[in-house]
Structure 1
Amino acid sequence: MAADQVEQVRRFNRTVAERVGVLNDHYLGGARPYGQARLLWQIGDGGTHDVRGVRERLGLDSGYVSRLLRALERDGLVTVEPHPRDKRVRTVRLTEAGQRERAFLDDRSDALAASLLDPLDARQRERLTSAMAEVERLLTASMVSLEELDPGHPDAAHCLRSYAAELGGLFDGGFDPGNSLLPDPGELRAPRGLFLVARLHGEPVGCGGLKLPAGAPAEIKRLWVSPGSRGLGLARRLLSELEAHAARHGRDRVRLDTNKALEAAMRLYRDSGYTEVPAFNDEPYAHHWFEKRL
């Protein structure tokens, strides 16, 4: 990446940190620094939360989260307890005092946001909020991680079930994975293939598989992104990563098939350099077949 792009990101980070007040010991004029305030807000809705889930959502080290929780617990704002069904799991919830503190943070956060917008005219406000929405989308995309997993891993299984359920609602006559040409997840397990899972805030949000049949082009299967994570460029990223894996395994072509109902997928394939070709298999759910030379 270009050095000027790196420098722009650093300038942006410094400006935001200064403008929103994270450098102050008493964030938003309250009694605690930003880390404690942000964790308190995340716990926030009055329910009980798995500490690990909160930590993964914020991307924080477990030791740091433990120190923050101890400080909040000492001030009577949270209660940390073992899970009633699994003593190895810690849960956290806000006390009444914690809920009042969170309401205070909400009020002060609204005031801070208004103070950012108030000096600007209507056109500038629209420009700023639109730019913020775009930055938020791109930063979220940058937080997605890809990992090669066994198809039997719980996160992989979750993605495959979600994939099948969504296609079942889209295809004429539904979708039964057992009737597809890939009923056996072992075809996406080394050395016959591989399976990628995308995670955001520790949760699986997308997947893609690659078959590596002997003496034949690689084949992409089960490319899926959860509805809530679409618009982040994740499908294109998964597709590109699967192509890179195919090339590293010595394949010079990659194939895939798709259903006529998946119009957005077909646009992605064409935009990514795939050309429609005659049918190369008898997949019962396929209406279109594509190939790309790597």
Structure 2
Amino acid sequence: MSTKTIQEIRAFNRFYTDLIGLLNKHLLNSDYSLSEVRIMYEIHTAGEAQASQIMAAMDIDKSYLSRILKKLEKDQLIARKASEQDGRAVVLSLTKAGEDLFQELTRATEQQIGGLVNHLNTKQQEELVAHMQAIRKILQGNL
């Protein structure tokens, strides 16, 4: 791999993370970090999830996940209950407050992205999406 390739990828990563504010301590002016919201996303998407499923989906450290889950539970955004299939396992779900917050952050994210691309015409938007899909396809092919 060439140094130029690495430099260009890093430059794009810096550009994009700055553009959407991923390095800010809190996502979209909320009280929650990107990792915390991503965990909420994983739980929301699954309906109910075990910590092991979240760890696999996010490739996140068990102790880091545990700290985040404790915070989300303290903030009454997630609930824990014993699994019906395996009483030793714990199942996580979003509470009503967690679901409401998740939906609010989803709307804010969609507005943010809309603001980034609304000046583009339809052809440019389609081209942008096609390039993003191509990047994902190329990189996922190597996983």
TM-score (norm 2): 0.88
- The 1:7/1:46 distance shift into structure 2, 3 A limit, reads closer
Contact kept, 8 Å, 1:46 with 1:99, in 2: the verdict is no
- The 1:141/1:91 distance shift into structure 2, 3 A limit, reads farther
Q: What amino acid is the match of 2:67?
A: R
Query: Aligned with 2:79: secondary structure?
Result: strand
TM alignment of 1:129-148, pairs within 5 A: 129-142=129-142, 144=143
1:233-285 CA-partner distances (Å, limit 9, x unpaired): xxxxxxxxxxxxxxxxxxxxxxxxxxxxxxxxxxxxxxxxxxxxxxxxxxxxx
- The 1:19/1:62 distance shift into structure 2, 3 A limit, reads same
Q: What amino acid is the match of 1:56?
A: A
1:34-65 CA-partner distances (Å, limit 9, x unpaired): 11111111211472212101111111111111
**What is the distance in 1 between the residues matched to 2:116 and 2:42?**
23
**What is the distance in 2 between the residues matched to 1:46 and 1:10?**
32
**What is the distance in 1 between the residues matched to 2:9 and 2:132?**
14
In structure 1, the residue matched to 2:93 is 93
Q: Once the two structures are aligned, what percentage of the paired residues are identical?
A: 24
The reply on whether 1:124 has 2:124 as its aligned counterpart is yes
Q: What amino acid is the match of 1:125?
A: Q
In structure 2, the residue matched to 1:107 is 107
Query: Aligned with 2:53: secondary structure?
Result: helix
CA shift, 1:93, in A, is 0.7
Give the aligned CA root-mean-square deviation in angstroms: 1.7
Over alpha carbons, which structure has the higher Rg? 1
In structure 1, the residue matched to 2:83 is 83
Taking CA–CA contacts closer than 8 Å with sequence separation of 6 or more, which of the two structures ends up with the larger relative contact order? 2
Contact kept, 8 Å, 1:21 with 1:27, in 2: the verdict is yes
1:84-112 CA-partner distances (Å, limit 9, x unpaired): 4241x332111111110111121112111
Query: Aligned with 1:38: secondary structure?
Result: helix
CA shift, 1:27, in A, is 0.7
Aligned residue pairs, count: 142
Contact kept, 8 Å, 1:81 with 1:91, in 2: the verdict is yes
**Unaligned stretches of 5+ in structure 1?**
145-294
Higher helix share: 2
In structure 2, the residue matched to 1:17 is 17
Query: Aligned with 1:23: secondary structure?
Result: coil
